[in-house]
Structures are given as C-alpha cells and as structure tokens.
C-alpha cells in the first residue's frame, strides 16, 4: 500500500515476492527513512495459526513512524494487512514445534527527494519467510562480547525505534564479534560506557537470586515485545523484576543472563567477554533455570500449548 504525507494509504494488493521499483532518489535509499517490524506466526497442533501480540508491533510502528517523519498504517490497517498476508501464505507456516513464519512489515520513504527531507510518498510492504527454531535441539547458551569501541545508539538518536539505520551501525561490530567466535555483541551506553543496553537484535536480562533486572527504556534501546512479555511472565511467577540502569559490573555477580527477542525468543547467555576477561554462567550446561523456565512459558503461549490467560495470541 502507498500514501502521501496525509497518511491515507491506498487499499494495497497481494503480489508475488519479488523486486520493488524505487527511484534512485527515494528517501529510504538516500536518507534511511525506513522502519520495520518483525513478528512470527506459529501453527497450533489443531492446525490453526497464532500471532503473538501483533497489535504491539503495530503500535511500535506508529511511534517509530513519528520519529522518522512518516505516516504509519493505523493499528487496524496493520493488523488486517498482517492477517491477510499470513492467510495468503498459510501453507508456509511450519507444523507445531518445527519453526514459524517470520513476518516482516516494512514502511519506507519511497518517494523521490533530493535535499535532506522526508519523502513525499511512502510505501508499506509486508513479506514473509518460514524460519526454523532458533534452537534446533533444546536451549544452547550463546557467547556475547562487549565491544566498547562501538555504540548502537546515543541519547536523542533513534535507538528507541526500529529504524533501518540502527542496524547499519551494528553491522561492523557484529561481524568483528562473529569473526572472533562470539554469537553477538552486547552494547553499553554511549555516555558512561558503563550501563548495559542490548544486543544487536535482542534485549538483555540479568538474574540475581529472585530478582531479574533489565535496562530501563530511555530512548536508546528498543522496547522489545518479548522483553515486555517476559517481564509480565516473570512477575506472575513470583520474581521481582526491576527496570533500571544495569551496570556492566553486575554481570560479574549475576547468577544468569539471558536475551529476549522475536528471533531469539529467550536465549540463555553462557559467557560474556569484556576487556579481555570472560565471565561464565554455569547453570545447567550454561542454561540457567530461570531462562529455561521463562523460555518454556513463552514458547508454550506462542505455540498455543499453554492456556493464554493474558489474551496475547490472535
């Protein structure tokens, strides 16, 4: 679907996956005026298809679009487009436990613009792809490195929204980390170089006793939908959850660390390397009990194996 600055989107159409035509001077190509979302459709054992909190993705796109000077589809338009796209591709939703259909809504400044300014026309596209489970054979711990020469976001920047440029800034840090054998980079805040922010595409949680802490949302980390859900699930299980600045020093005394995100779901962290020193989280072969428990609860809800008392699935 397309629209002008007034935000009145055209009806939209279902097209086979393929290239889309853009002017070389499209806003998105020149000034990074683009925003995306990511969510998954899971198949229940009875064959029906579940979306997990899709209206949260719709709302996050509305907030991000404002920051990026773009009109966004309404929550209803977004939900309707996601549902129609999933239904048109339902044969690609894997059976229960065999993965999911990843859904990628994209909102771009598609109109031509020469000077730095918002584009005059916008395009909303959704494409999908079946994906396997992040963990093929049970949970496996990931290895993180804190690369304090690289930052992902600064106060006043765009770190709090899902704009494409944020991912441009992590490419080099991520590749450097992967070359050294790490799974991902854990970023620190750009002001003090001391407080945890997040990984390239996931939020971070630190467990100490019965308390689970996660960096507060202050404009430099993405407000993850998995993060928000895990906070609620953990609280319902009796954990004390704190959203606050979490110092890198706390990693030394933590019992467990895990990451959350649509792709990684809940990923236990087995080790974190910082300034040449490695901290290991022993757990059960690196998988902490809290991470294991929260992973089971969340995936159970997402796949429709557990009763959805929160009304999170559609």
Residue 267 touching ligand PMP (CB under 6 A): no
Structure token pair of residue 115? 């000077």
162 has catalytic annotation: yes
Binding piece for ligand PMP, criterion CB under 6 A, among 133-141, 219-227, 272-280, 293-301: 219-227
Residue 256 touching ligand PMP (CB under 6 A): no
> 146 near 177, Cβ under 8 Å?
no
Residue 261 touching ligand PMP (CB under 6 A): yes
Residue 222 touching ligand PMP (CB under 6 A): yes
Residue 292 touching ligand PMP (CB under 6 A): no
The residue from 158, 262, 267, 302 that contacts ligand PMP (CB under 6 A) is: 262
Binding piece for ligand PMP, criterion CB under 6 A, among 143-151, 173-181, 217-225, 291-299: 217-225
Which CB sits closer to ligand PMP, 224 or 304? 224
The residue from 142, 225, 234, 290 that contacts ligand PMP (CB under 6 A) is: 225
Residue 302 touching ligand PMP (CB under 6 A): no
Interface with ligand PMP in residues 174-203 (CB under 6 A):
198, 201-203
Residue among 244, 219, 218 nearest 231 (CA): 244
The residue from 5, 38, 130, 165 that contacts ligand PMP (CB under 6 A) is: 38
Annotated active-site residue in 98, 136, 162, 180: 162
The residue from 158, 213, 220, 226 that contacts ligand PMP (CB under 6 A) is: 226
Task: Output the smallest distance, CB 49 to ligand PMP, in A.
Answer: 19
Residues annotated as catalytic are: 162
């Amino acid at each position: 679907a397309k629209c002008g600055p007034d935000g009145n989107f055209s009806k939209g159409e279902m097209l086979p996956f393929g290239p889309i035509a853009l002017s070389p001077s499209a806003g998105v190509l020149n000034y990074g005026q683009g925003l995306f979302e990511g969510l998954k459709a899971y198949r229940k054992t009875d064959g029906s298809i579940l979306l997990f909190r899709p209206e949260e993705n719709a709302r996050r796109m509305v907030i991000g679009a404002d920051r990026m000077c773009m009109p966004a589809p309404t929550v209803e338009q977004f939900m309707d487009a996601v549902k129609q796209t999933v239904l048109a591709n339902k044969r690609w939703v894997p059976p229960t436990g065999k993965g999911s259909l990843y859904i990628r809504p994209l909102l771009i400044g598609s109109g031509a613009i020469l000077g730095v300014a918002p584009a005059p026309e916008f395009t909303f596209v959704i494409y999908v792809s079946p994906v396997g489970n992040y963990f093929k054979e049970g949970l496996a711990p990931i290895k993180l490195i804190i690369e304090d020469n690289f930052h992902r976001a600064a106060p006043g920047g765009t770190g709090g929204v899902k704009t494409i440029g944020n991912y441009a800034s992590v490419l080099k840090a991520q590749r450097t980390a992967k070359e050294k054998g790490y799974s991902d980079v854990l970023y620190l805040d750009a002001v003090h170089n001391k407080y945890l922010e997040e990984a390239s595409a996931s939020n971070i949680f630190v467990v100490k006793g019965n308390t689970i802490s996660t960096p507060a949302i202050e404009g430099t980390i993405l407000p993850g939908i998995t993060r928000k859900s895990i906070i609620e699930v953990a609280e319902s299980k009796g954990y004390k959850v704190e959203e606050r600045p979490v110092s890198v020093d706390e990693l030394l005394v933590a019992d467990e660390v895990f990451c959350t995100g649509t792709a990684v779901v809940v990923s236990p962290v087995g080790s974190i390397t910082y300034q040449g020193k490695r901290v290991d989280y022993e757990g059960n072969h690196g998988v902490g009990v809290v991470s294991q428990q929260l992973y089971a609860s969340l995936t159970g809800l997402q796949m429709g194996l557990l009763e959805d008392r929160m009304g999170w699935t559609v």
